[in-house]
Chains A and B, each alone.
Chain A
Amino acid sequence: DAGVIQSPRHEVTEMGQEVTLRCKPISGHNSLFWYRQTMMRGLELLIYFNNNVPIDDSGMPEDRFSAKMPNASFSTLKIQPSEPRDSAVYFCASQGHGETQYFGPGTRLLVL
């Protein structure tokens, strides 16, 4: 299996622009997580889907952030409009029937 796939791997954009991050979970996994990692706050959960349904979005910082999971093999995290404080590494992780979450390589986002 290729593992969790994320794209793009790097994104540089200007403040105010829309940013879309993409994730393909491991085939057969039914839970998907979006995390954000910064030096100040470490790894934080943004939102969690189970069977394509959002279960917990309490970590989404504000209305500028939205996430979708239209099917079992694809999810997006959108930031509109982006701000410099959104600069971070965004990770997607997927989980099957056990408790272990497997992480993707991350998307490094820089908002200028």
Chain B
Amino acid sequence: EDQVTQSPEALRLQEGESSSLNCSYTVSGLRGLFWYRQDPGKGPEFLFTLYSAGEEKEKERLKATLTKKESFLHITAPKPEDSATYLCAVQAHSGNTGKLIFGQGTTLQVKP
């Protein structure tokens, strides 16, 4: 069964304190791994797509990496506006190729 597990569930950081969020996955053939950001009361906002092990993508203070079993979202020198829930999702090659399977998310709070 395809599955996504994110850790930790919640993370509190001081402004400027770098850290990483983990997304472990089990999927029958990875088509793509997606990172989204979700602010309270809003829909998920797309951040990155990763397709193969070793791939990395960056956007401002965020960097996403991918291995065959997990992905990391590295946050460098975070600011309070980075506070949000970060969602990881996988899309499999087999079956319904449109379906995204989401993890439960990591809620990040960055204090000034």
Contacts and interface: CB of A to CB of B under 8 A. Distances in A.
Interface in B27-58: 31-32, 34, 36, 42-46, 49
Contacts of A93: 43
Contact of A43 (B42, B49, B96, B102): B102
Given A42-B102, A43-B87, A56 B96 contact: yes
A31 interface: yes
Given A48-B99, A55-B96, A99 B44 contact: no
A43 B36 CA distance: 12
- A interface: dominant SS: strand
A11 B9 CA distance: 29
B98 A43 contact: no
Contact of B49 (A42, A91, A100, A106): A100
- B interface: dominant SS: strand
A102 B98 contact: no
Contacts of B105: 42
Contacts of B43: 4, 91, 93, 103-106
A45 B46 contact: no
Contacts of A33: 98, 100
Nearest to A105: B43
Interface string A84-108: 0000000101010001111111100
Nearest to B87: A43
B104 interface: yes
Interface in A47-93: 48, 50, 55-56, 58, 91, 93
B44 A55 contact: no
A103 B22 CA distance: 23
Contacts of B49: 99-100
A55 B98 CA distance: 9
Interface of B: 31-32, 34, 36, 42-46, 49, 87, 89, 91, 96, 98-105
Given A91-B44, A100-B34, A101-B46, 7 more contacts: A43-B100, A50-B98, A100-B49, A101-B100, A103-B36, A104-B43, A105-B42
